[in-house]
Amino acid sequence: MNSISNISAQRRRLAIIGVACLTAISFGRYVAACEDEEVTSVQVGKWTISSSEKVGEEDATSRKFPHFKLGHLMDNNARTPWVFRGKGQASFFAPSWGKRHALSFYRDKKVEIDEIRIMNGYNKRADLFWRNDRVVQLGIGIDGKKLKIANLSDKMGWHKVSIPRQKVDDIVLEFVGVRKGRGADNDICVSEIQFYNRGKRVKP
């Protein structure tokens, strides 16, 4: 069985923990594990987005700096990126390309897509773009199988990656190649991700 399929088990675990978190919060108790889980998985429309940030990692960016949260990947705002600072173990993703940084997009019902669009880096301003890390090679997995590695231009704005048209419910994007920024932040930034079919955006 392909290692990427382990993500399904992660999602079930996150759902169970989510219920436990809500129960704990309702009784006024603070639970650190709940906070960690919330920054590594989020629901945006019909998509469940998960990152390979290590749960409980002290330097998980989305936990320390909520304005860089995971949901920004699909908020239609190029000025608000998701930022990955943590070391990232990808323990549930087990990326097949051997890299530890990854994102997963999952939905209960399959949807047809033929293009992935990514606004790479911190697109708020040019100086922020060059200061932070950018993804220059993107590994794409569809429904538990490796599809391709796409090379991205190191520039601001949208990058379009075509794939064979197909119905999918599970997309994994792995950061195979990352270009280091000029600053000392060492943060991998992604401003937006969208999926398309026949030139039309698939609504979240």
Looking at residues 66-78, what average pLDDT do you find?
Answer: 88
As given in the structure block, the two tokens for residue 170 are 């599970």
SS3 of residue 127 by DSSP: helix
Are 54 and 87 in contact, with CB atoms under 8 Å apart?
yes
pLDDT in tens, 31-45: 333 444 456 789 999
Residue 166: CATH number of its domain: 2.60.120.260
Is a pLDDT exceeding 80 seen at residue 83?
A: yes
Output the CA–CA distances (angstroms, integers) from residue 198 to 26, 162, 164, 166, in the order listed: 45, 11, 11, 11
Amino acid at 175: F
Are 188 and 132 in contact, with CB atoms under 8 Å apart?
yes
The reported pLDDT for the residue numbered 16 is: 33
Owning domain of residue 138? 3-201
Q: Which of the given ranges, 5-9, 63-67, 138-142, has the highest pLDDT on average?
A: 138-142
pTM of the model: 0.76
The reported pLDDT for the residue numbered 14 is: 43
Structural domain count, the chain: 1
The reported pLDDT for the residue numbered 193 is: 98
d(CA 70, CA 154): 22
The reported pLDDT for the residue numbered 196 is: 98
pLDDT in tens, 99-151: 568 899 999 999 999 999 999 999 999 999 999 999 999 999 999 888 999 99
Helices (H), the chain: 6-26, 32-40, 61-64, 126-131
